[in-house]
Structure 1
């Protein structure tokens, strides 16, 4: 059985200081009511945890609406078609790339209208760019397009450190009225194709990234995001996730929150 000692010790330091970290859960790439999606939502319900699921509007099947109607589920927008528009030799991107900004925004707006129509109040107009990448010009236009915010990957900007959205590339300078609520721990690794990142590595990274917050090396008030991709989980990933959720959900230093609550608590850029 995998030891969670390193993570437990870090959470105990938070609790001893009378502090708690807000934690949320984002899952990407939903397009149909697959067995993996059913398993994911059942896991969230079993642990009584809210989950935000990023849906791909252009490829979604009709059965996705019923699958995401479960209590505790919030639907976010995962780009438009999850299609790569990067130039040759460049890293994948849909919200930018070789297309004009206006064309990208037209597609995103169409996707937003689809999700609003299909999911109603379950849908939160938050952009989750595929591959966690978004062109700065597209990001700058999000508020005018009706989006409340952006969810990328990595620490948001803090005292001149970090980025606001996609921290894999150049840091973004976001406009006013845009909230950033990122994910920070992906249970998968992607080099060479999706694969379980490994329990030892994930526990170490989780503890280290919480310590960065506690010691103000990153924004101490930033919510911590757990990132999953239900379609790409193997049994080792599912097993680890089950144990991790059971462990952290019961710790007094963790406050599991729906993204809708975090939106009201997070600063607007």
Structure 2
């Protein structure tokens, strides 16, 4: 499919929002940050060039001051808590989980409290009180206790479901984990974004939550991000917002 034709459905959907006098919301979450790397630098340059607010889901047990120092000059970056150590505790015949029902509940809650405290110490005001479970999975029995630990929002992947804690989910994943392990076909990603926008247009939801993993991006992933930023930022009916602003219900 020709390059321009791939992106035409998104332009048409944003035109519909514009004609209705409405603005579509996009936000970006990138998972598995630990330390400064060439891939992280590339993400920071790209999102910084286009002024895209980005939340990095950082693994608390595996990170230190090096990452915090690297982010000092990146005002468009916030950080969230990506579990504790991103360690799988599920048996081999189940999907991977760190925060599943495979360990004592109090052990998990203690780890999450430690994780939040460590991230506050390292990142201060850059931290938002968002929990991003590794592999986007968490035992629902833990949700009622997250608020008491200090978390205000839970972010997994897929449609939001009824929950005792505010949910702000990613809805479009760039990576084809079960196929090529590279970036999804660009036309499929654009179609997915258009479907998300159509749903948000009808129900007033949180719009499009883009999920990326800078450490495993191929060139097609980087190319897609750049073109998406170019396409959306030049359209009056689109706004990239920070996760913190969406959590706070800010219209800014």
Please report the TM-score for the alignment, with normalisation by the length of structure 1.
0.87
Q: Does 1:263 align with 2:214?
A: no
Contact 2:196-2:207 at 8 Å conserved across structures:
no
Q: CA RMSD in A?
A: 1.5
Of 190-199 and 73-82, more deviation after overlay is shown by 190-199
Shift of 1:260: 1.5
Write the distance in 1 (CA, Å) between the matches of 2:179 and 2:111: 29
Q: Deviations over 1:93-121 (max 9, x none)?
A: 11124112111111111111110001011
Of 113, 123, 133, the match for 2:117 = 113
Secondary structure, counterpart of 1:52 in structure 2: strand
User: Are the aligned partners of 2:59 and 2:85 in contact in 1 as well (CA < 8 Å)?
Assistant: yes
Alpha-carbon distance between aligned partners in 2 of 1:192 and 1:254, rounded to the nearest angstrom: 31
Q: Name the one with the larger helix percent.
A: 2
Q: Is the 8 A contact 1:181 1:223 kept in 2?
A: no
Task: Look up the SS of the partner of 1:119 in the other structure.
Answer: helix
1:79 to 74, 80, 83: 83
Query: Is contact 2:89–2:100 with CA below 8 Å preserved after alignment?
Result: yes
Question: Are the aligned partners of 1:2 and 1:199 in contact in 2 as well (CA < 8 Å)?
Answer: no
Alpha carbons 1:132, 1:152 under 8 Å: kept: yes
Tell me if structure 2 keeps the 8 A contact 1:87–1:97.
no
**Residue equivalent to 1:59:** 62
Task: Check whether the contact 1:58–1:81 (CA below 8 A) recurs between aligned residues.
Answer: yes
**Residue in structure 2 matched with residue 170 of structure 1 by the alignment:** none
For 1:121 and 1:213, the matched residues in 2 are separated by: 30
Residue aligning to 2:19: 16
The answer (yes or no) to whether the contact 1:97–1:135 under 8 Å persists in 2 is yes
Indicate yes or no: 2:183 matched with 1:196. Answer: yes
SS at match of 2:3: coil
Match for residue 97 of structure 2?
A: 93
Distance in 2 between residues matched to 1:249 and 1:123, nearest whole Å: 26
Shift of 1:224: 2.1
Matched, 1:224 2:227: no
Number of residue pairs the alignment of both structures matches: 246
